C-alpha cells in the first residue's frame, strides 16, 4: 500500500507539477479556515518575539504595539541572565537528558501497551483499563505533589513506614538526589501513559484486518504479527510522535520538576533543575517581559534546529514519515 501511495504521488507530481487544478482550489478552500486560524491566533501574535530584543517601555498615551516599536533595541541583553549563568550547562544537560529519557519511554511503553491491550479477550475490561489509566492526566501537578509528599514525607510518609516496617531505616527523600531521576521519570511516564497510548491505540485499530488474516494463514505467531505487521504499519505514527516530541526537547514540564520536588530543595538542585525552573526562580521577582520572551525564544530556536535536523535525517531514511 505504501509503495502504491508513493508511486501515485511521484507520478502525479511528474504529470502536473505546475498546473493549478480545480482539485487544488478545492483543497485550498478546505484548508482555508485553519490557515486563517493560524494567521490570526499563531502568526499575528508573533510580533511578541521582538520583545526579546527590546528594552520594553510603555510610551505615554500609546498602546502596547506602538510602545513596543518605540522602545529601544537592546541586542542580546535580555538573554544574558541565563546564557552567562554558571549553571547554564548543568541546566541544558538536565533538560536534554530528562527529555531524551521521556521521549524513549513515551514511545516504547505506550506502543507496547497499546499492542497488548488490543489482545485482551474482554473488550469491557480493556475499556475499563484505558479509562482508569487516564486519571493521572487530569490531576494537576500540584495535586499530584500532595500525593507524592504523603508518600515520601520523611516523618510518617508511606514509603518510610513501609521501609521501617521491614526493619530498614527511613530515607530523607527530599534531600537525597540519587533517587530523584527515577522518581521524576516514573511520575512523567505515569502521568502521560494513558494519553500517549491513545494515538497508537487508534492507529492500531485502523489497521486492515485482512493483513492479519493473511499472516495467520501463513502461520505467523502473535509476536511475528506484532513485529512484521503492527509496528511497520504504525511506524509513520511512531516517527511523527518522535519528531513532535523532539520539538519540545528544550522545554520541560515546570510542574513536574518544581512542584513535585516541593520547590526544588538545595540538595536536589543539580539533579532536578531544568531550564524552565531556572527561569522561574530567576524571574520570581524583578521579572520583565523582555527576559521572559528571551528565554522562550532561546528555547524555540534550539528546538527548531533540533527538529529540522531530525526531520532531515528521517526524510533521508523514510521520506513519507517526515513532517515537513
Partner 1 sequence: MKKLKKVLALGLAGAMALSLAACGGGADSAASGSTAASGDAAATDSGEVVTLKWVMVGNGQPANYDAWLEQINPYLEEKIGVNIDVEVVGWGDWDNRRNVIVNTAGEYDILFTNVNTYTNDVGVGAFLDITDMIETVTPDLYASIPADYWDACRVGGQIYAVPTMKDSSISNYVVWDKAAMDAAGYDGSTMTDLTDLTEPLSNPDFQEYVTSQGSVAWPLSSSGATYLSFTYDTMGAGLIAMGVKYDDPEAKVVSIWEQDDMMEYLRLFHEWYNAGIINADAATASEENAYKPAAIAQGWPSAAVTTWGPNMGVEAVAYQWGPTIVSNDSVRGSLNCISANCQNPEKALQFLELVNTDTYVRDLLYYGVQGDNWDYTDDTKEWVHKNNADWSMAGYTQGSFFTVTPTDDFDFNQYDEVEELNANAEPSVLLGFSMDTSPVATEINQCISIAERYKSELLTGTADPDVMVPQMVEELNGAGFQEVIAEAQRQVDEFMASNGGATAETAE
Partner 2 sequence: MSTFAEKRAARKAEKRLEIEEAEAGFKLNKIKPVTNACFNVLFAILSFICIFPFFFVLIISVSSEESIRMNGYSLLPSEFSLAAYQFLWNERDMIFQSLLVSIGVTVLGTVIGVLLTTMMGYVLSRPQFKLRGFLQWVVFIPMIFTGGMVANYVVIANMLHLSDTIWCLTLPLAVSSWNVTISKTFFRQTIPDSIIESAKIDGASQLTIFSRIVVPISKPVFATVALFLTFGYWNDWLQASLYITKDSLRALQPLLNTMMGQLTYLANNPTAGLSLQQYRASMPSESVRMAIAAVIVIPIACAYPFFQKYFISGLTVGAVKG
- Positions that interact with partner 1 (CB under 8 A): 29-30, 32-33, 36-37, 39-40, 44, 56-67, 77, 80-81, 84-86, 145, 149, 153-155, 174-175, 262-267, 269, 278, 281-289, 291
284 vs 276: CA distance, rounded Å: 12
Does residue 246 touch partner 2 according to CB under 8 A?
Answer: no
**CA dihedral over 134, 139, 141, 143, signed as positive or negative:** negative
Among 66, 244, 309, 312, binds partner 2 (CB under 8 A): 244
Tracing cell 511475528 back to the chain, one arrives at 224
Give strand ranges (E) for the chain: 54-55, 72-73
Stretch of 88-96, 163-171, 265-273, 292-300 lying at the interface with partner 2 (CB under 8 A): 292-300
8-state DSSP, 39: I
With binding defined as CB under 8 A, does residue 266 bind partner 2?
no
CA distance 140 to 320: 37
Q: Which residue has the cell 475499556?
A: 127
Residue 256 near which of partner 2, partner 1, none (CB within 5-8 Å, type-dependent): none
- Residue choice 144, 152, 256, 272 for contact with partner 2 (CB under 8 A): 144
Smaller CB separation from partner 1, 122 or 155: 155
Element (H, E) at 23: helix 22-37
- In degrees rounded to 5, what are phi and psi of residue 14? -60, -45
Q: What does 136 bind: partner 1, partner 2, none (CB cut-off 5 to 8 Å by kind)?
A: partner 2
9-38 residues in contact with partner 2 (CB under 8 A) are: 9, 12-13, 16, 20, 22-24, 26-31, 33-35, 37-38
Which member of 87, 281, 292, 315 binds partner 2 (CB under 8 A)? 292
Size of the site for partner 2 (CB under 8 A): 110
The alpha carbon of 223 is separated from its chain's Cα centroid by a whole number of angstroms, namely: 29
Q: How far apart are CA 214 and CA 245, in angstroms?
A: 35
Amino acid at each position: 500500500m505504501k509503495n502504491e501511495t508513493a508511486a501515485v504521488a511521484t507520478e502525479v507530481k511528474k504529470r502536473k507539477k505546475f498546473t493549478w487544478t480545480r482539485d487544488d482550489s478545492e483543497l485550498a478552500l478546505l484548508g482555508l479556515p485553519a490557515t486563517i486560524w493560524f494567521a490570526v491566533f499563531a502568526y499575528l501574535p508573533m510580533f511578541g518575539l521582538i520583545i526579546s530584543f527590546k528594552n520594553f517601555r510603555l510610551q505615554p498615551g500609546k498602546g502596547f504595539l506602538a510602545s513596543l516599536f518605540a522602545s529601544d533595541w537592546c541586542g542580546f541583553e535580555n538573554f544574558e541572565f541565563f546564557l552567562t549563568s554558571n549553571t547554564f550547562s548543568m541546566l541544558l544537560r538536565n533538560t536534554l537528558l530528562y527529555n531524551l529519557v521521556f521521549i524513549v519511554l513515551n514511545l516504547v511503553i505506550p506502543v507496547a501497551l497499546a499492542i497488548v491491550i488490543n489482545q485482551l479477550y474482554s473488550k469491557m475490561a480493556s475499556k475499563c483499563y484505558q479509562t482508569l489509566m487516564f486519571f493521572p492526566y487530569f490531576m494537576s501537578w500540584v495535586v499530584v505533589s500532595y500525593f507524592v509528599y504523603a508518600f515520601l514525607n520523611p516523618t510518617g510518609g508511606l514509603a518510610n513506614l513501609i521501609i521501617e516496617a521491614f526493619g530498614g531505616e527511613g530515607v530523607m527523600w527530599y534531600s537525597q538526589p540519587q533517587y530523584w531521576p527515577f522518581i521524576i521519570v516514573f511520575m512523567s511516564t505515569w502521568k502521560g501513559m494513558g494519553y500517549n497510548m491513545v494515538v497508537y491505540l487508534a492507529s492500531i485499530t485502523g489497521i486492515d484486518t485482512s493483513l492479519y488474516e493473511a499472516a495467520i494463514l501463513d502461520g505467523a505467531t502473535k509476536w511475528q504479527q506484532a513485529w512484521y505487521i503492527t509496528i511497520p504499519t504504525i511506524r509513520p505514527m511512531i516517527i511523527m510522535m518522535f519528531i513532535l516530541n523532539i520539538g519540545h526537547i528544550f522545554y520541560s514540564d515546570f510542574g513536574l520538576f518544581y512542584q513535585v520536588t516541593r520547590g526544588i530543595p538545595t540538595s536536589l538542585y543539580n539533579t532536578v533543575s531544568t531550564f524552565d525552573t531556572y527561569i522561574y526562580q530567576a524571574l520570581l521577582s524583578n521579572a520583565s517581559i523582555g527576559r521572559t520572551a528571551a528565554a522562550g525564544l532561546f528555547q524555540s530556536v534550539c528546538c527548531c534546529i533540533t527538529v529540522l535536523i531530525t526531520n532531515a535525517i528521517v526524510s533521508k531514511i523514510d521520506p513519507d514519515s517526515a513532517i515537513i
